[in-house]
Amino acid sequence: MLPGANVENEATEDGEYDDSLSEDESESLSDIDDCDVDAYIHNEEEKNIKKMLWERVNRVYVMVHHILSAVF
> What pLDDT is recorded for position 52?
96
Contact 17, 9 (CB under 8 A): yes
Decide if pLDDT at 71 tops 80.
Answer: yes
Q: How confident is the model at residue 22 (pLDDT cuts 50, 70, 90)?
A: low
CB under 8 Å to 51, separation ≥6 — which residues?
none
Q: How confident is the model at residue 1 (pLDDT cuts 50, 70, 90)?
A: very low
* Residues facing residue 17 across a β-bridge: 11
Domain limits, the chain: 1-31, 42-72
pLDDT in tens, 29-69: 778 888 888 888 899 999 999 999 999 999 999 999 999 99
